Structure formats: structure tokens, C-alpha cells
Amino acid sequence: MSICYIALGSNLGNPLEQANHAITALQQLPKTKVADISPFYRSKPLGPQDQNDYLNAVIKLITGLSPIELLDALQAIEKSQGRMRKDNRWSARTLDLDILLYDNLIINSERLTIPHYHMKHREFVLYPLFDIAPELILPDNDNLHDLVVKCPINGMKQWN
């Protein structure tokens, strides 16, 4: 079994409903247990500002799925919750589920980059990850606590 951390983001429809629905779907994945869920945060959009604030959270999974099986499963959940393929990198989205970390693996393939790009500089990833994994060391030996200390919180608040 492997330990992975998944970033959840949503800023369309009802983000709280999207998040809860996604967590239910994660709990139903084969060979997988939801081991922890961070608090839900309200963050300012990174990218174009003419979109809603995001709900962001991080979820810890214990899984027997391989990285690609997990990616396929996450993309199926995104799709079932209305994510459109036309969503481009910077646009609003109903649901984003990204693999941040998978054990201590480093993967750079066409479909997967683990650790997730930019995770070291995004408050809406680092803070919720720190809430549930305060002792975490990244595969390149960076210490999560040090990254959090260096990352401005940028007005992020608890969702409610």
C-alpha cells in the first residue's frame, strides 16, 4: 500500500458540495482508504482574477492503486462531476483532483508529474498539506514546514 496526497480545488457550482461529493467518490475507490482530510480553505484565484474564490483542501489516501490507475480514477471523478475538457490551465473549474505526492516517488511522464508542479509555492496546497502532514519531507528532501514558512498566506481563510 502507498501513501498519497491529493489536492482538491473547486470554484464553480457549489464548491462545498463538489468537495464533499468528491470525497465520497474517493472513499469508494477500489483498494483505497481516505486516511485524512484537511480543513477546507477559501483561497484567492491564482491566474485570472475574474473568477470565484476557490475551495481548496488536501486529502491523504492509502491505496493499492498504481500512480496511473489513481490518475485514471481521479480523472473519472472529475469528469463525473462535470469537469469539461475545454477547461484550460487558468480557468474556473468544478473540480480539480491532482496527485501531489505518491510515497517518495518522482515521476516525470507524459501524463504524470509527481511531485506536482508548483506545489512548493502555492499556499492553497502547502497549508492544507501541512495541517495533515506537519512532519512531511518531500522526495527532494525539502522540509514541508520550511516551505510553509516561506509561503505568504495571501489572504487565504478557512472556508467558513
- From candidates 40, 102, 124, 130, binder to ligand ROI by CB under 6 A: 124
- From candidates 32, 43, 63, 94, binder to ligand ROI by CB under 6 A: 43
Distant-in-sequence, close-in-space partners of 34: CB < 8 Å, separation ≥ 6: 23, 26, 27, 59, 60, 61
Question: Is 40 within 8 Å of 23 (Cβ atoms)?
Answer: no
Q: What residues are labeled active site? A: 83, 93, 96, 98
Cell (9 digits) for 132: 495533515
d(CA 64, CA 66) in angstroms, rounded, equals 6
- Asked if the peptide bond before residue 115 counts as cis, ω within 30 degrees of 0, the response is yes
Q: Binding string to ligand ROI for residues 63 to 92, with x set by CB under 6 A, is what? A: ---------------------------x--
Closest separation between CB of residue 47 and ligand ROI, Å? 4
- From candidates 14, 47, 68, 76, binder to ligand ROI by CB under 6 A: 47
Q: Which residues bind ligand ROI (CB under 6 A)?
A: 9, 43-47, 54, 56, 90, 96, 124
